[in-house]
Amino acid sequence: MATTTGEIAEQYLTFLLAGEEYAIDILKVKEIIEYDIVTTVPKTPVWIRGVINLRGSVVPVVDLGLKFGMEARPVTRTTCIVIVEGDWTGQHIFMGVMADAVSQVMDIVSGEVREVPEFGTRITVDYLKGMAHLGKKFVLLLDIDKILSANEMLDLNEAVTTVLENDNHAALLDSSEAGALMEGDAGAQAQDSAVQE
């Protein structure tokens, strides 16, 4: 989007996380959903809240606050999950980002983006594109493609794989139980026929 001065403005979705305002490039955001049932996955880092079923797809949910070393926050009526699409270490995946609340979509001109100082922020500057004015305060612009390391991506993939394997195992159990029931019914019918004869 071009401004009246000819500068290119990009749109960002802003959201609250532990009282601070963060923003994600709107092109990375696929949808925003209510925080509902999140299935926890054993033996995963605490910042992986679990996974959700998004129209048949297993999507991992990340608590950025915990990942950034902040204290755990309770789930409230404004808590939501922002589904983002990104490229992490060469992998193209969808991920849910837990937010305390979604604020607004704002236009930010590239010339308004400032470098983040090494001090004064709760998170490492490697995760940030920069910061921009939001009224009288600053909003931190997250670089969603850099918030996960290669090892953290493995943790995320393992969480999804574990759920998929458990689902397949449950499906196999369901089918075997159904087969056993059918065999049992067939056996009972055969016994009834033999009694009648």
Contact predicate 92/57, CB 8 Å = no
pLDDT classification of 171: cutoffs 50, 70, 90: very low
In a domain, 4, yes or no: no
For residues 122 and 73, the model is more confident at 73
CA distance 79 to 115: 29
> Quick check: 190 pLDDT over 50?
no
CA distance 42 to 59: 16
> Tokens representing 150?
């290669």
CA distances from 11 to 21, 45, 100, 106, 166 (A): 15, 32, 20, 6, 39
In a domain, 2, yes or no: no
**Residue 113, domain extent:** 9-153
In a domain, 189, yes or no: no
| pTM for this entry | 0.75
CATH number at residue 62: 2.40.50.180
Write down the pLDDT at residue 182. Answer: 40
Residue found by looking up tokens 């980002």 in the block: 97
In a domain, 15, yes or no: yes
- Beta 91-99 vs 57-62: how paired, if at all? parallel
CA distance 142 to 12: 10
